[in-house]
Amino acid sequence: MISKFVRLALLLAAVPGAVAAQDAPVVRTVDGPVRGARADGVVAFKGIPFAAPPVGSLRWRAPQPVARWTAVRDATAYAADCMQLPFPSDAAPLGTAPAEDCLYANVWRPAGDAKKLPVMVWIYGGGFVNGGSSPPTYSGAALARSGIVVTSFNYRLGRFGSFAHPGLKPADADYGLLDQLAALRWVKANIARFGGDPDNVTIIGESAGGMSVHAMLSSPAAAGLFQRAVIQSGGDGSNHGSSLATAEAAGVAFASGKGIAADDPQAAAKLRALPAEQVVNGLNLASMGQGGYSGPVPDGRTFVDPRTAYDAGRFAKVPVMIGATSADIGGPTGAMIAGARDVAVLLASKNVPVYHYRFDYVATSAVTPQTKGAGHATDIPFFFDTAAIKYGAATSDADRTAARTISRYLVNFVKTGDPNGSGLPAWGRVTATARPILTLTRAGTAQVAPE
């Protein structure tokens, strides 16, 4: 005889979006049911496919629909990060081994049955050649405990993500950015089943992820997929002259190095037959200057030059939080620091609510006599409130205070489009006549003053 508890679990599993057993929650996505895990007040689902594996004939094609499933799929561990050569000095080392089959998403939500929660979607950085959603400091659990749903996902990198060649038709080139669009569409279609509000979505990215946010803000294809955006160390929004022609030249050079001529009628098949390691071909953050790789380029249709789109007013006019670290790449006049300021002013001139920040806090255990400020990407564990994961036993009270402060601003912004809240210094918008900037200081406190 079936117990009343088993009957209840079966009943809940049959209801779209329902949480089943206490220790093994099940959500029925549009593609099939997934089982997550509950811990410390958070329900987490990891490794949910949002597109078909981009392997074999699907290498260098736009992401395709995932094959649906009926049996409950385990979603308690990260899937593989996308194919790459890991970078030994990466500030956020991968938690999984890279593979070409990598288009998976993760979701964290507060335990309980709350619905229509604000949603934050994380896009990782890594120069478009490294990175993934599995690093422990990218966990969305701490932010989820603040009353939001957090989602992350993987997108193709390096030559798998950005590649053009005369033999590949259609010439999409930016497969990694197309993956990001596919993930955002998956969020739109599924996040309500996890308790999130598909009409209250904030996209956030750092470095290459910040550049991706620029791309989504200016892409006609991303219209309506998010309602606000956070750009962390994402540059000035310019593609700096990159084009499909430059991408194709890089692709031809790479293929020629593998013995595949530009006019070979079998070029596409031969390129897709290359082992994944040969496509990587030693490319990572330490070797980006080598030939045969272009990085993302605008195609003029799905993706355009963001800076040009901003100037023309052709972009999603949603609230934006933007900034950089105090010792970011390029220094005070570089594309990260000066670029964030310039974009903030430009977007504000288009009547967009913009909040500009500078992250100057350095973890206690990371301070040396040579420290001049917060380095590139060092802000992420504080925005995610995962400093204790990053620094372990060396985490100080000041580190915890800094993480609580900046993450509260972020969560407030995700919830309402305004980072301000009770107990926090008032952070004003950038306007035509005022340029306030919030600084997370060396003491871990927030100060707002004119820039």
> Which helix (H) or strand (E) segment is 408 a member of?
helix 397-416
- Nearest CA among 57, 101, 107, 110 for reference residue 79: 101
With H, G, I as helix, E, B as strand and everything else as coil, classify residue 437.
strand
The 3-state secondary structure of 272-306, one letter per residue: HHCCHHHHHCCCCCCCCCCCCCCCCCCCCCCCCCH
163 and 60 Cβ atoms separated by less than 8 Å:
yes
Which tokens sit at 229? 């955006």
Residues across the chain: 451
Distance between CA 215 and CA 213 in Å, rounded? 5
Q: pTM for the complete prediction?
A: 0.94
pLDDT at 120: 99
Q: Are strands 104-110 and 73-74 parallel, antiparallel or unpaired?
A: unpaired
Residue 84 CA to its chain's centroid (Å): 17
Report residues of the chain scoring pLDDT below 70: 1-22, 171
Which tokens sit at 146? 């603040």
pLDDT at 272: 97
Helix then strand then coil, in percent of the chain rounded to 5, is 30, 20, 50
